């Protein structure tokens, strides 16, 4: 009986040992799998897409170009007088007193005959706020000439060799090219602008009846110089000048 009990006790102890080993093996298995899985995840990289490089535009030089219809136009009057000048009858602007008040005129210290033997006296310089009182004037586009002439414009304060204080006397403009007098406008042209792009003056041309001498109207014209004469061309697009 004792022998049988001893044998049974040995079997129970052996079974316990075997169960402990089996449990130890079972517990260690997930740990190894977990470690292996961690290693695999850290060493196996997910495929990445190559970054797409979009072509970048190369910086271009800033080039200033003159667009169609854009012209450099310089007023010959103070900006604050613009509205008043546009509302005035050109025949009023033709009067010396009005012209003198509305435009940029400064004493020149220069005296000369406007037309030999007919008019002379002190000359006032017609100036602007942008140039050194000299304007490059060319022949009209129809001449296809690239020559420009440095032109200075003076306003005469006298008629018939006598200084006049009559504000209603007509404006007389005197034109000098390269320092030499080349002509005069005797009361029939009112310069409003200098068009630097076209190299011309722009203003009112007064039309007179040749038989009566009476003014019949006015036109907005471009005034050029071709080396001998001062041809005028009617302005095709008056909106360029705010009309």
DSSP string covering the chain: -HHHHHHHHHHHHHHHHHHHHHHHHHHHHHHHHHHHHHHHHHHSPPP-PPPP-PPPPPP--------TT---EEESS-GGGHHHHHHS-HHHHTBHHHHHHHS-EEEEEEEEEEETTTEEEEEEEE--SSSSS-EEEE--GGG----EEEEEEEEE-EETTEE---TTSBPEEEEEETTEEEEEEESSEEEEEEETTTTEEEEEEEEE-TTT--EEEEEEEEE---SS---EEE-S-GGGGT-
CB 183 within 8 A of CB 230: yes
Taking only Cα atoms into account, the Rg of the chain, rounded to an integer number of angstroms, comes to 49
For the record, the structure tokens of 205 come out as 């041309």
- Which of 158, 182, 152, 154 has the alpha carbon at shortest distance from 170? 158
d(CA 141, CA 145): 7
CB 172 within 8 A of CB 185: yes
> 5 lies in a domain?
no
> 107 lies in a domain?
yes
More confident residue, 173 or 186: 173
Confidence of residue 150 (pLDDT cuts 50, 70, 90): very high
Q: What is the pLDDT of residue 13?
A: 56
| Domains contained in the chain, number | 1
Q: What is the pLDDT of residue 196?
A: 94
Residue 201, beta-bridge partner list: 194, 223
CB 222 within 8 A of CB 140: yes
Confidence of residue 2 (pLDDT cuts 50, 70, 90): very low
Q: With pLDDT > 70 as the criterion, what percentage of the chain qualifies?
A: 61
Model pTM score: 0.65
Q: What is the pLDDT of residue 96?
A: 83
> 54 lies in a domain?
no
> 51 lies in a domain?
no
> 64 lies in a domain?
no
Q: What is the pLDDT of residue 131?
A: 56
Confidence of residue 94 (pLDDT cuts 50, 70, 90): confident
- What's the whole-number mean pLDDT along residues 179-206? 91
> 235 lies in a domain?
yes
More confident residue, 188 or 162: 188
Q: What is the pLDDT of residue 215?
A: 76
Per-residue pLDDT reduced to its tens digit, 9-68: 555 455 454 444 444 444 444 444 443 443 344 444 545 555 444 444 443 333 333 344
> 39 lies in a domain?
no
- The domain of 148 spans 73-241
Q: What is the pLDDT of residue 132?
A: 61
Question: Among 36-45, 100-109, 110-119, 145-154, which is the least confidently predicted range?
Answer: 36-45
For residue 200, the tally of other CB atoms under 10 A from its CB is 27
* Mean pLDDT value across the chain: 73
Maximum mean pLDDT: which of 117-126, 137-146, 157-166, 213-222: 137-146
> 67 lies in a domain?
no
Q: What is the pLDDT of residue 164?
A: 54
């Amino acid at each position: 009986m004792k022998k049988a009990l001893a044998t049974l006790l040995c079997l129970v102890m052996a079974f316990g040992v075997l169960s402990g080993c089996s449990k130890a093996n079972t517990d260690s298995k997930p740990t190894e799998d977990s470690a292996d899985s961690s290693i695999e995840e850290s060493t196996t990289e997910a495929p990445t897409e190559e970054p797409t490089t979009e072509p970048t535009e190369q910086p271009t030089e800033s080039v200033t170009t003159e667009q169609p219809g854009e012209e450099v136009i310089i007023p010959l009057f103070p900006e604050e007088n613009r509205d008043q000048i546009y509302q005035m009858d050109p025949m009023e602007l033709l009067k010396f007193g009005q012209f003198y008040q509305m435009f940029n005129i400064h004493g020149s210290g220069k005296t000369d005959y406007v037309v030999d033997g007919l008019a002379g006296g002190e000359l006032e310089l017609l100036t602007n706020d942008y140039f050194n009182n000299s304007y490059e004037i060319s022949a009209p586009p129809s001449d296809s000439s690239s020559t420009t002439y440095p032109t200075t414009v003076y306003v005469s304060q006298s008629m018939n060799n006598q200084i006049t204080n009559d504000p209603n006397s007509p404006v007389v403009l005197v034109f000098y090219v390269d320092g030499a007098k080349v002509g005069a406008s005797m009361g029939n042209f009112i310069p409003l602008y200098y068009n630097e792009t076209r190299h011309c003056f722009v203003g009112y041309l007064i039309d007179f009846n040749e038989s009566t001498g009476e003014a019949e109207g006015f036109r907005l014209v471009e005034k050029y110089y071709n080396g001998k004469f001062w041809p005028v061309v009617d302005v095709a697009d008056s909106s360029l000048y705010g009309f």
